[in-house]
Structure 1
Amino acid sequence: MLILSILLYTCFLAAPAIANVEKTIFTAPESIAFGDARPNLLDLHLVSLSPKKLAIRTALPVVFPTEEYPRGLSSWYLLGGLRPGQRYEVRICWAATQPTDFLLESFKVTDVFDSPALLQDLSIYAEERQISLLGEDLTGSSEPTAVKQSALFLRIQSVASFYTTNKELMQYPPPVDVDIILDPYLLNVFPQSLLPTAAYIILLAVASWFLSGFAWAKLQLFVQEKQHSD
């Protein structure tokens, strides 16, 4: 009876979710000295994700694909404080009521600085971000130091993927509310965030095994009593 109560209570806790997820998986590179990087990463004021801050909630601007923005608008983030050689994934989650296509890419810091196209894209985003943050507190922005650490740039490109007869929405699609999550892999095999789900499945399997044994024993007892009565 106790096991049955636990199962029923767990079912009541379950709730449906309607959302979309896109992700990229990568292995953290070797550590580098941020103090030697140019332009200075601190001046970029990028929002950062790290083992101390695994998730952020924000709104990303989107556009419909054009020749100038075939993959949409770019948003840049810094993934810092990583463990070299460890596997990670970054997920972006958004409501299905906001149809959007996202492309997530991770780049080594040196690769971005060595690529004129990537560096220009990053610089444009950083300049626009600094203008939008004038007079605001930059808490949450990246704060790299000269100490060596493993880090990557994350670029998220977002394209609106809906159609409406509303001309204003077609010309100015609204920003999309998203959650961006950094998820380290345990032993480079299993995402850390899935531990509660794995524990739930194991608990459910064990409880089901005991419950099925209890039901089978009751069924056998009923059959035996039925045979004796006949």
Structure 2
Amino acid sequence: MLPCRSIDTMRAILHASLLLVLCCWCSLARANTEKVIFTAPDASIRDVVDALDTSTINAIGELSAARESERLRLRVELPRAFPTSEAPRGVDSWVHLRNLKPGARYEARVCWAATAPSDFWLSVHPHSNGERVPGSHLYLKISAIASYYTTNATLMTHPEPVLVDIILDEFLLGVLPRSLLNVGLFIAFMAVVSWYVGIWMLNWIGAVAQREMKKQKAA
């Protein structure tokens, strides 16, 4: 049995290693994120009763799942407003989601800087375009309000647009967003390395403890 002091030392080293790994990832936490998870319809949804009438909206851009993963990101300035009784969620913006795989699971995210206080609501809507097209097509609705207070009367009356990244991410096997695959592999790699390092440290501390016990007995 290992002495209590050796066990405490091992725990302290393991905790320090975990803290180091977490600190390495802190630099990635640079923005706020709001997201919506949805499943693409199995077929064209032109016949859905509650389908969106696209003639009444003006999309700010589009994201196509048929493109390379690097192009599934849209950087744009979204208009926002302070909430009112008529528009409690501020200003609505729309993004056309094209060529979705029928039945596939997706995640749409909006990321923005923490220095631009805002609140977002995301939802997806079918639309009716009067024709059948391959793949599934939806519209992403993004509602944005300003959530700050300033003594600047102009900014309180007319909030500036907020710069955002809008990301379309397909789930791999319906579980893990594709863009997080590298992160998942890194975490798995670190878990394996930590396991073997932990075993090595345990054996090393055990050997040191046994030598100390033998010295004490010899004395």
Equivalent residues in 2 for 1:146-157, closer than 5 Å: 147-157=133-143
* Map of 1:200 onto structure 2: 186
Greater relative CO, 1 or 2 (CA 8 Å, sep 6+): 1
Partner deviation per Cα, 1:40-87 (whole Å, 9 max, x = no partner): 88x966511122131111111111112342211111110001000011
Which residue identity lines up with residue 96 of structure 1 in the other structure? A
Q: Does 1:213 align with 2:199?
A: yes
Tell me how far apart the structure 1 counterparts of residues 108 and 52 of structure 2 sit (CA, whole Å): 25
Tell me: CA distance 1:26–1:224, structure 2 relative to 1, closer, same or farther (3 Å): same
Tell me how far apart the structure 2 counterparts of residues 225 and 45 of structure 1 sit (CA, whole Å): 72
Q: State TM-score, norm by structure 1.
A: 0.72
* 2:104–2:174 Cα contact (<8 Å) kept: yes
Matched residue of 1:195: which SS? Answer: helix
* CA apart distance, 1:229: 2.4
Pick the aligned partner of 1:172 from 140, 144, 158: 158
Tell me: CA distance 1:87–1:162, structure 2 relative to 1, closer, same or farther (3 Å): same
Pick the aligned partner of 1:79 from 92, 97, 108: 97
Tell me how far apart the structure 2 counterparts of residues 214 and 159 of structure 1 sit (CA, whole Å): 53
* CA apart distance, 1:10: 6.6
* 1:31–1:151 Cα contact (<8 Å) kept: no
Equivalent residues in 2 for 1:173-192, closer than 5 Å: 173-192=159-178
Tell me how far apart the structure 2 counterparts of residues 33 and 105 of structure 1 sit (CA, whole Å): 16
Count residues in correspondence.
Answer: 191
* 1:76–1:153 Cα contact (<8 Å) kept: yes
Matched residue of 1:214: which SS? Answer: helix
* CA apart distance, 1:9: 9.7
Q: Which runs of 5+ in 2 are unaligned?
A: 1-17
| RMSD (Å), alpha carbons | 3.3
Partner deviation per Cα, 1:88-136 (whole Å, 9 max, x = no partner): 11000111111111111100113xx79xxxxxxxxxxxxxxxxxxxxxx
